[in-house]
Structures are given as structure tokens and as C-alpha cells.
Amino acid sequence: MKIRVELDQTMPLDELVIKTATLSSDVAHIVQLIEQDTTQHRLAITTDDRTVLKRFDDIIAISVTGETLTYYTDNETLVARGALKVVLQKLDVSLFVQVSKQNVINLDWLMSLEAGFSGSMVAVMRQGIKLDVSRRYLPELKRKLGL
């Protein structure tokens, strides 16, 4: 497959044209990836009394205790039931990173890392939220931060 990008100032900003002789499985896969990337920018959070749609950019962190998920957002804290591993599959991996078995953080909201106990760290987020970073997940966090 040959890929070529041509800029066309006459096209709308949010339009992409793919030209192909046949709709092969490779082309269909590329279209699917693009559609997923452009539509998944929000997460539906179902609490006891409502379902809230939150943009990924507005989610600071997610913590789990047992089957209770706590979503820290820019303007509220939401509590829901569920499994962290299920939520992780829905998140944008370029924004979010798991920092312990219990915590996932949005890298855009991270202010600093502080030393914790026994080689662990504490992620200091905007809005004053502090979350433990375990040694096991620290290498991946450092990689995503470019450290």
C-alpha cells in the first residue's frame, strides 16, 4: 500500500479523503482506526442517579477501591461502580497512564512527582489531588514523561 498526503487549502479542515481502487481490509482497518480516534474523546460515567459524559481533558484522575470508582474531574468528583481495567480500555493512552493498581492519572493534569515511602512516589495533580505511584508502574510513567 502506498500512502501519500496532499494538502488542499480548498477542503474543509475536518475532512479527509481516501482514494483507493478497492476497499481492501487494510484500507477498511485504517478507516476504522481514524473513526475511533476522532469519536472517542469522552467517557460515559454512570453514577447511582445519572450518566455523565466527561471529556477526557476534564478527567484529572481515576481511583478504585474494591468495585467503587472515583472520578476526579475539573469541577466535580463522581462515584460509580465498575472495574478499573474496563475503564482503562476506553481511555486515550496518550493522555492517561496507570500509576498503581488503584490509580490512573491524566498526564496533562500532573504538576509534580514527590518521593513517597519505600521507593514509591506521589503524583501531585492540579486541584490538590495526591495519588500514590507504585514502583511497579513508575518506569512506564517516566517513559511517558520522557524522563
Reference 56, options 43, 71, 70; nearest CA is: 43
User: 60 lies in a domain?
Assistant: yes
User: 88 lies in a domain?
Assistant: yes
User: 128 lies in a domain?
Assistant: yes
User: 115 lies in a domain?
Assistant: yes
Burial of 57 (0-12, 13-18, 19+ CB in 10 A): middle
Number of domains the chain contains = 1
- What's the predicted TM-score (pTM) here? 0.72
User: 114 lies in a domain?
Assistant: yes
**DSSP percent split of the chain into helix, strand, coil, nearest 5:** 25, 35, 40
User: 127 lies in a domain?
Assistant: yes
- What pLDDT is attached to residue 14? 66
- What pLDDT is attached to residue 79? 96
- What pLDDT is attached to residue 26? 85
Per the structure, the complete domain to which residue 63 belongs is given by: 42-145
User: 28 lies in a domain?
Assistant: no
Evaluate whether 114 touches 124 at the Cβ level (below 8 Å). yes
| Average pLDDT per consecutive 10 residues, the chain (147 residues; last block may be shorter) | 82 76 83 66 88 93 96 95 92 93 97 86 94 94 91
User: 108 lies in a domain?
Assistant: yes
Question: Rounded CA gap, 101 and 64, in Å?
Answer: 8
Evaluate whether 134 touches 101 at the Cβ level (below 8 Å). yes
**Domain holding 46: CATH number?**
2.40.50.1020
- What pLDDT is attached to residue 40? 62
Question: Rounded CA gap, 54 and 95, in Å?
Answer: 14
